[in-house]
Amino acid sequence: MWNYDKKLEYPVKIKNKDLNMAKFLVTQYGGPDGELGAAIRYLNQRYTMPTGKTKGLLTDIGTEELAHVEIICAMVYQLLKGATPDELKAAGLGGNYAQHDNSPFPTDANGVPWTATYIATLGNPIADLHEDLAAEQKAKITYEHLIDLTDDYDVKDVLKFLWAREVIHYQRFGEALVDVYDLLDKKKYY
């Protein structure tokens, strides 16, 4: 099971409303390379991992990704805080207001809703860990694009933290892949 820790993994203290940035940033909530997809991807893949180590790693990175979902939602919430329907409409978020008011909702930057087709599980640890390595690279690049789209220090600071976590997860998945290859090699008899 999971418990809730009543704090963010990293502080989010955004002072300035920025509706355009909220619209871009929401892709890291519900977009193809977002944190929700990452969490579900890893937590779903853990059942067919071959070792205690890989089951642990997928559980723990999947859990950390849930904390990143919360960070992105906190950022979107703070960026949208106090926005009027007219302001939302001007920023291209009139559709969001119509359907969700000022609530965050898991879509990509163009409003396309999150879908399970963003995740993959082959049930094969080699294929799944390669998927995970690619996913971390794609998320890292998306954070770089988002950092290019804002000048707000408060936003950039959190995005840099999340960027760095993608790098670490990539590293850990790479180590796990090497370990699984070693395990499979040991099982071969000639």
Partner 1 sequence: MEKTYNDLSKKELMTKIHQLKFAAIDLNLYLDNFPDNKRALDDYNTVTAKLTSAIDIYEAKYGPQTNFGGSQSKYPWQWVDEPWPWEIGE
Catalytic center residues? 35, 65, 68, 136, 166, 169
Helix, strand, or coil here: 15? Answer: coil
Nearest CA to 85 out of 33, 19, 13, 27 is that of 19
Contact between 61 and 139 (Cβ < 8 Å) = no
Cβ closer to partner 1: 4 or 190?
A: 4
Q: Count other Cβ atoms within 10 Å, centred on residue 13.
A: 9
Residues 94-133 that bind partner 1 (CB under 8 A): none
175 lies in the site for partner 1, by CB under 8 A: yes
Cβ closer to partner 1: 116 or 164?
A: 164
Helix, strand, or coil here: 93? Answer: coil
Specify the stretch interacting with partner 1 by CB under 8 A; choose among 30-38, 72-80, 90-98, 114-122. Answer: 72-80
187 lies in the site for partner 1, by CB under 8 A: no
Contact between 89 and 97 (Cβ < 8 Å) = yes
> In the complex, what is the shortest distance from the CB of residue 153 to partner 1, in angstroms, rounded to a whole number?
14
Contact between 119 and 40 (Cβ < 8 Å) = yes
Q: Which residues are at the interface with partner 1 (CB under 8 A)?
A: 1, 3-14, 53, 56-57, 60-61, 64, 70, 73-74, 77-78, 168-169, 172, 175-176, 179
